[in-house]
Amino acid sequence: MKQVRSSEWTGAFKQHRLRLTKPRQLIVDVLGATSDHLSAEEVYLRVHPKYARIGLTTVYRTLDVLVRMGIVSRLDFGDARSRYELVERSGKPSHHHHLVCSSCKRVVEYDDFMDEEVKLIKKLEKALSRKHGFGITGHVVQFLGLCPACKTLARA
Ligand SMILES: [Zn+2]
Ligand SMILES: [Zn+2]
Ligand SMILES: [Zn+2]
């Protein structure tokens, strides 16, 4: 996983008339340095050693701002805590779908979409926006189930 430097985000912050404050910069850096889907607590634990003044509340508030700016996406893997990841990695959109193991919480990301998958989603988006008059700008696709290891355990 390539690292994203927060300097790449300066433009996005300017566009939203927001300053690239130290906490914002550090949180984007932490998310850019991992391919994991971190919870707010995990973000906090990684930022804190570099910036002892930061509190968990600031992390929560900053993540909210980043989500509203479209820099970070918030995910829910069905375990009652939000997870966060960068919308773009190394300046490129990192659109992918998730397979989430509901037992060990392992997450598989894939972006080698099947043609049928892409077609189906486009068709769905079109139909849904017609039906609900909703201007769809994106989607989050996530499948829940058991990973190969947990499936084996469940059978044993
Ligand atoms: Zn997609
Ligand atoms: Zn599993
Ligand atoms: Zn992901």
Q: Residues 49-63: pLDDT tens digits?
A: 999 999 999 999 999
For the chain, residues classed under CATH 3.30.1490.190 are: 95-156
Q: Which residues on neighbouring strands pair with residue 52, listed in sequence order? A: none
34 pLDDT above the threshold of 80: yes
**Residues with Cβ within 5 Å of ion ligand 3?**
85, 109
CA–centroid distance, residue 143 to ligand 2 (Å): 13
CATH architecture of 1-91: Orthogonal Bundle (1.10)
Q: Output the pLDDT for position 7.
A: 58
Average pLDDT, the chain: 88
SS3 of residue 27 by DSSP: helix
Predicted TM-score of the model (pTM): 0.75
Label the pairing between strands 88-89 and 97-101. Answer: unpaired
* Separation CA 46–CA 152 (nearest Å): 33
- Above pLDDT 70, what percent of the chain? 92
For the chain, residues classed under CATH 1.10.10.10 are: 1-91
Q: Output the pLDDT for position 127.
A: 97
146 pLDDT above the threshold of 50: yes
The highest-level CATH class for domain 95-156 is alpha beta
CA–centroid distance, residue 152 to ligand 2 (Å): 9
Per-residue pLDDT, averaged over 42-71, amounts to 94
Ligand number nearest to the C-alpha of 109 = 3
CA–centroid distance, residue 75 to ligand 3 (Å): 8
pLDDT category at 143 given cuts 50, 70, 90 is very high
Vertex 104: Cα angle to 103 and 109 (nearest 5): 105
Q: Which two tokens stand for residue 148?
A: 């190969």
Chain CA centroid to CA 71, Å: 9
Per-residue pLDDT, averaged over 93-117, amounts to 90
4 pLDDT above the threshold of 60: no
Question: Between the CA of residue 100 and those of 77, 79, 90, what are the distances in Å?
Answer: 7, 11, 24
